Structures are given as C-alpha cells and as structure tokens.
Structure 1
C-alpha cells in the first residue's frame, strides 16, 4: 500500500470502503480512533479522534490486570464503560469526516487487554462489541487475538502484516518499533514475510514510576528521566529477566512487566513503590527504566535484524524525546525516526492496524502471520457483531 493521505472519491462522490479502527493500549492513556478508506493496494486516512480514559475507568482496568474479588462483575462493568467511550470516539470521527454510520463497512475494536496468557491457551481483551454495534449502528469486528491463540499462536503481535503494507521497502530492510505500554518490533525485509515479536516493556514501567514519584501519569517528553543518570548495575540486573533472552515467537504484557516486577527489581536496592525524598535518585531510576526500554529494543534488533537500515518508531513512546535519543545512541548507523515522516501519525498507527484487520476479516483474508505468532497457519481473525 502506498501512503497517500489525500482522500479520493469514486464517481458520484462515494469513498472506497470505509473502516474505523479503535485502539486502547496497555499504556491506558486513552482511546485512539481512525477512519480509513481501504481498497486492495491503497489506503487513505480520513479522520482521527482521541478521547482520554476517565480516571475511574483507567483504575478499574489497571485493577483487572491482577487477580481480585468480584472480577466477573467488575470486568463486565468496565467493558460496558469502554464500549460507551468507543462509541463517543466513533461519533466524533464520523462527524469530523462528514460520514454517515451507514457508509462505514465495519469498526475494528481491539478491546483492552487485561490478561494475556498464550502459554495457558487464552488471552482476554475486555470489550462489549454488541453494545458498540448497538450504539453506533455499524458492524463491529472484535476479539482478534483469540483465533490465533486457538491455533497455537501467541495472539501477538498482530501488526507486522499491516506494518509491511505501510512501511515496507523494496530495496532495504526496515524495522518498525511500536512503543506503547509494551514494545514490539516488526522486521520488514524486501520480498519476505514480515517477522515480529514483543521485545520488552515500553512505557508501562516508565509511567508507573513517574506516577509514583511525581503524581503525573507519564513523563512528558522524558524530561524527568532526562535529568537522571543510568545506574548500569541496576540495568544489568533488569536485563537478566528471562523474557529478554527468549527466542521469538514471544509476547508479553502487564502479566509480567507490572508493579510486582518493578518492586522485585527495586527491592534489593532498598526502594519500594512509594515516593522518594531523594529526587536525584528518583530521576536516576526513571533514566534507568528509559534505558531499559531503549536497550532491550536495540539488543533485539541487533540480534534479529542487523541488516535494518531504518527504525520507524510509533506509539506514545515516540513522543518521549529522551527515549528517542537513547534509541539513536544504541543504534549508531541506523536511521531512527518517527512514523510521521512516512505519513502516519505516531498515535494513529495501531488504530489504523485494527481498521485494516477489520478489512481483512470482512474480506475473509488471514490477518496473522504464522511466522510471527507461531500459529499453525494463516487464520481469519476476529468475530463479527452485525449492527442489525
């Protein structure tokens, strides 16, 4: 697909098939939605909308990442609230693009991952796609990961095929690094199927420590961590986490990189999850966690794609200037830049991928790449919830 962001119309003023993609990632900062015009071989971005997660919903989703009382009831309520928020994003998108719901083929709604245990044969994305279809009047495709897991795969990452369609080059190897709550790599070689895997934590640990120390949900532009110094011995301890040395296919999430992991790492150094009176030390920890995200991604890239000439960074981590600087330092001789330079805003890429996955479902095309997820073969992903 050739990046072309200018909307084109068919005779009579009708767009090519329209799909909405919705994404609320492990960073839990909000919902991003996009409207894409999709046809075989072309794509066009028509609209984007973002809505932050209300604090109560954000906390409810965070709480559901770990075992607790009355989980079934709490998860059902959270799924309903998320669907309502999704619906407001869809309405904003349609209004912005002056598009009627009846003109949209389908919504691809990923849902919110609260448990991801492919090693146990399941993955859970909270969602209420039936309610979303009812509220919007648009068909909804949801539950994308389960089919891949049922076929023996990791259920993640699902974006490498989309990344290849958007960012792949015919003359060189390109890597796409998506940094949300977790970080995942797509390796795009000319004439080959894409490779991809989760490479470690993205923003999740960074955001957690920053909130504990400053009260802010994230480190804006990395300014808090940029004032700290990396503690190399602490970093080496963190890199001993077995996940980093696992061979792909592999995926991860808050089931591993969570508050318990962070406290277990901090404990030998006499620290806990409370705020520190020593601001310099707090900044040093933030800098070390930022370096962990950068170095774990760079190590994975050097091992699995030493021929990559460019790394395209997307997701919220691309807005962290300190993290981008550290990535560049870890990858000398490699162009490290944001997806914006390729025509797709860093906060739109994953939502666009789920619009594309909805398109693959509606066209009965496989959405997974078995070499990425480890599934037994190509599978049509998702379940359809008709609007009527």
Structure 2
C-alpha cells in the first residue's frame, strides 16, 4: 500500500467554510480545443467546496483509505524539520499545488527512497526539479488545462486594473476620499494598445482570445508558432523572441513555464527595450523576471505597472520588495485556485491516482516526466539540462 503525502495551503483564518457565496458551479465538460475535463471514476466532494486547503484534502481521503493507502496532509513544508521533510522520507507519492509548492529539490528527491510519483494539483510543475526527476526515474504529472482559463481571466483582470488605475482608485473609496484627479492621472483606455504574450499555449492563447474584443493589437512569441489560420482569425503578429516582441507592446503578459530558457528572461536589459510606461503582467513564475529589476523599472517609470500572483519563494516573506514597490497590483498566488478550478484539479488529481493504482496509462496530456525523460505535455512545454 502507498503512502501519499499531500501538501496544501492553510485553512481560512476563521476556519474551514460552513457555507459558500454561491450554491453551485456552472457545468463545464470540455476545454477550448475539445479536451475533456477530468473524468475520474468517482469523486468524494461537492464542486464549489474549498478543496485546496488542509481540511479540503483535495477530496482524496475516502478514496485513498478505502483502498488501504495512507494519506498525510500538511501545510508545513519549509524550514528545518518541516512535516513535509519528515514524512517525505518514506512517501511513495507527493501531491502539491503551484500556489503552495512543495519544492522537490534534488536533495529531497535523493532522500525520498520510495518516491515514485509527483503530482501537481493544477498546472506548472517547476517546483519539482525535473532534471532530478528524470535522473531518478520519477513520474511527474499535472492536471493540464484544469486552471488555464482561471489564470487567463486573472491576467485580463490585472491588465485592466493596471491600465485603468483601479486599485488606487478603490483605495480612495475605502479611505473616504473622492480624489478624481488623483485617480485618473494614471488611468488610460486599453483600446488601441498593443498587447503581447510571452508564450501562446493554453493560457497565453486564452488571454489573446479574451483581449481581442477590446480592439487591441495582439502579439505573441512562442517556441511553437500557431497555425496560420489562427493568426489570421485573431489578427496576431508573431515575433521570433521576447526581445523582438516587447519593444512593440504597451502591455506584456508572461504565460511561459519556468525552465532554463526562460529563467531570468526579464532583466534590466530586456525591460529597458520595452516602451516607457509599459505594463508587465506575470502569472507564470516569478523567476522568469529579475526581482530587483522590476523594482528599479517601476521606480524609474520605465514600467508604468507590474502585476502578478507568482513570487519566489512561496509564500513570499513579509519583507519581499514587491509588497512595497510603487504601481504594483500583486496578489498571493491565487489565479489558478478559484473554487471553480479546484473542482477540476481535484478531480484530475484523483484521475491520475486512479490510473497509477490501477496500472492504466496516465493520459499523455497530464504527463511531464516518465521513464527517465520528458513526456506528454512536458516534452512540449519544458526543457531540462543534460
């Protein structure tokens, strides 16, 4: 029987919810492009529940224990002597979310002698050292597409919030003011701006589709160029690299996975080539940008705003400089963890576990690493060293 170690974020400060703002969720059975939503043999939760926190347990306990497996759930993942480190030693499977990542470093993977499977409840498996996973023959899987649209919606929200200066204007209301001139002095229309995405996969393409009705110019760069008919449909301008694209854009949104080719991409040099007063949105991974270069660009006015929900490390320390830089619209890592998304990635996690325990193939779209190599979605999206 397997020991499953699940690392989830803490429950709400006032306790696990006894009720919710809404009574139900819209029923979605497929994603754009036709891929079906997760189809496990069963679930033990109600869609719309808070599943991503400790008490939610991703709805897995009944399923796992009915099969004789052991489930350990914790939020304690960092620092010497963490529950995660203590329990990892003999764990067979580790599950965590990008929003509260259990960092599977080479050292942790080497110490986890029984570890065979690492599952990301959501999308984005860079908190697993993929080189080490390949070297140790681990299987790494994630619930591809489960929260891609959730993140795309967050990108659109943050884009509008920055361009229209929404957050400071809302703060004026909370503070009892009515300072219209102060609010609108940094407020612009998105209409007519040039918007570009670094990567046009599931999230990046969804962002482009959602921004097209705003009558903006749309740009993208990606390792894989989109079909010509799709470029024509959305009137997209393709660029061979981020360096070629960003000088043309008023808004740049980062939707690429973190791997050696993207780490540190947005440094002082690249940001200096952007339009003065451009906006940068990052819901991908924090290490794709240079943390301190962002602060310098915001203070100098090279960037008019920066928003995102990805930090390094996560959770971000209280003194993280992005908390206090000017003209930022940062949130905790929440874009892909809406209650709607949680229902999908919890179901997808169970689907992966059912396949694993039943000895049936994990769907290719969920695979990142298998058999000592990148596989499935991982082969398309990631790169490893060596």
| Bigger Rg, which one | 2
Q: Higher strand fraction: Structure 1 or Structure 2?
A: 1
Which structure is higher in RCO with an 8 Å CA cutoff and minimum separation 6?
Answer: 1
**What TM-score do the two structures reach when normalised by structure 1?**
0.30
**What TM-score do the two structures reach when normalised by structure 2?**
0.30
Q: Higher helix fraction: Structure 1 or Structure 2?
A: 1
